[in-house]
Structure 1
Amino acid sequence: MNVINVLMVEDNPDDIYLIRRLINLTASVPEIMLETVSSLKEGLERLNHGGIDVVLLDLSLPDSNGLDTLLILQQHQSHVPVVVQTGVSDEDLGMEAVRLGAQDYLIKGEANIQLLVRSMRYAIERNNIEDELRQHRTNLEALIAERTADLQRTNEQLQQEIKERERAEQRALELALKQERARVLTNFVRAASHDFRTPLSTINTSLYLLRRVKDPHEQEQHLNVIEMQATRLARLVDGMLRLLQVENNPEFHFQSIDLNDLIRDIALHVYSYATEKQIEIALDLDPDLPRVEADQAELSYALVEVAENAINYSPQNGTVTLRTRRMSAHVMIEVEDHGIGISEEDLPYIFDLLYRADKARSAETGGPGLGLPIVQKIITAHHGTIGVSSVEGQGSTFRILLPYGS
């Protein structure tokens, strides 16, 4: 953005002069085109004509005062980002304005051109991100509807093909194939529909409530819910794209790496997440571990996924141990937790695409069922193996074996 069109709503000529002088005396990129009005009414009338990128708003005006000034402007022009100007003694008021929907605040007399440009750019970009999120939600809903319809049509076509083949081939065999295909497709539709519709429904509900509540604390709660669910959707989409990349276009770059150093990096990577869940990360590393040939980025991705999975299913004040050992022709990496464990009936299927044990389907802990299948494909590409031993109610240990040269 080479030009920022700014509307300054301010009745104090001195404050207007300072901002104009700041802009005129400094060559800045982007260029700032400043218009000024002295009342909220004039500001709303100017905004109705469009062409304004950001509003620089004084909360104390002849026809409006305090946070009501911001709320009235948002009610009439909710799509225009707002940067609030406050006095030195009113910084708390500026922070409260941000909680109510302003994009940023500046303290009068303390702004320089860099801070002014940064604040207005931030306001515009944050507003654009919010618009993109709303558009993203709309696009996702349309995409889900389209994909669901495509899957339904595919399902019907498969069933019809099976029926036609049943007439020409052995009925029992064709019936078995039909049932298996229908089961796989039905499971995929159910899992994909659940994973997309649940967060979208939560986002829609939160947006509905957000438009109706006035309490800043409640608004913050709804915004947090929207952010969490948007992150969940992004994680699902990223997981699907990652799976496609690993399956269809793997680009692994192998080099000699020190696994113990990599494990230490993994521990640092998940430390904040573990601390948030009150989980301790313990290291048990073999000092004589040989180096291995691996793609450091891809292997790191796989190990982080397994470590975060262990953290997810560990109780508070629990411990997740990252362990390495040298074996005859392999190095072993173990990720051990003492959490809920995996039942015997679920254990054979945890590396299957979109498979999750029922107890792991909650939004708080359950992933989209893509992580472990991706991990297995990455380990397989390293000519290694991954397995798990688990006792329900006592915990799980994921064990990875990677070959190393003599």
Structure 2
Amino acid sequence: MLNKLDDFPIHQTPEPIAVPSTSDRNVYDRTWFNGYTADGAYYFGIGIAIYPHRKILDCAFSVVERGGRQHCFYGSRRAPIERTEMQVGPFRLEVLEPMLRTRVVLDDNATGLACDLTFSARTAAIQEARQTLWSGDRRAMDSTRFDQFGRWSGVIHHPDGGIKVDDRTCYGTKDRSWGVRNVGERDVGGAPMPPPSVFFLWAPLVWDDHISHAIFFDGTQGEALVREGITAPLYRSEAEIPGVVDGLDRRMATARHRVTYVPNTRLAQSAEIDLVDIDGHTTTIALDPILKFQMKGLGYGHPQWGQGMWKGELEIGGESFDPLTLDPLARENVHVQQVVRARQGSQTGIGVLEQICFGPYRPAGFGEFLDGAKA
């Protein structure tokens, strides 16, 4: 099972690149992006992933404008052996220059959603720490991720209008991750198991001359499973980035979070993040949400278009919904990203806060699987 990548000296095992190093059916390899403006006028998200043992390649594109509906495109196909073939029907991702520039195209299709967008990096690649989470004696997640911050240019067309995306005003984050995590249909057979609980926060933020990033996984009692804080330089253009890795990212000793929830929901009304450096100095960042995006628009938790679910040899679908009218405690609606204004001392920034909380979580007073915050 050879593909074009086998012609490069990149092998990590004696097998061809198309053969994963693990037989876990939940192995995956994903590229993900977001894009947004500092005034919260719009937000869009993009995702494409291959699941080699499930033999699936799927993708999604979704956009919401402030006060409007969120529009979603979903695509799924039988995965090709050729890993460089990143196309699902009318959707394709083109790596124009690795870790600098990527083009995403969604040609006209029956959903009424289309785009031609180019991402241009403004940071070197920033590797998050390996994330390994356990369910009993089994790894429920074991993955590596790297992030890049950048700018977007291009156009978006959707059923209610269109957006001219200008790289002077449109920020974005690229997220590449691979490894093993729960995707697709749940495993069946064997002894019944309780539904898994998860608490996750992810906060990539852009400041005038640098970026900050914080990643959290908590257990049900609030115990730290993953705690990471990072700062790194921000460059004015991709031409100024000195290399794939610039060696200038600064790792914190730890990070902390505090979230205030909208009553009767699990949605952040505001949040604070502490970045604690190796000398114990703490920088506190306050976050104020200004626009909400439902992650089900990219397949996360979607009951029909969930990631890694077999849909057929080639299928596309779409939907539009008003985010303000959804039940915030329905399982598929709890996972969100919000565009946030950020403040640390006299500095102001912009970014996103991603959050998902399923199951009991003592610090917030959540005692059931999907109860809301007390008023």
| TMscore range, shorter length | under 0.3
Could you say which structure has the higher strand fraction? 2
Could you say which structure has the higher helix fraction? 1
TM-score, normalisation: structure 1 = 0.19
- Computing the radius of gyration over CA atoms, which structure comes out larger, 1 or 2? 1
- Could you say which structure has the greater relative contact order, defined with CA pairs below 8 angstroms and 6 or more residues apart? 2
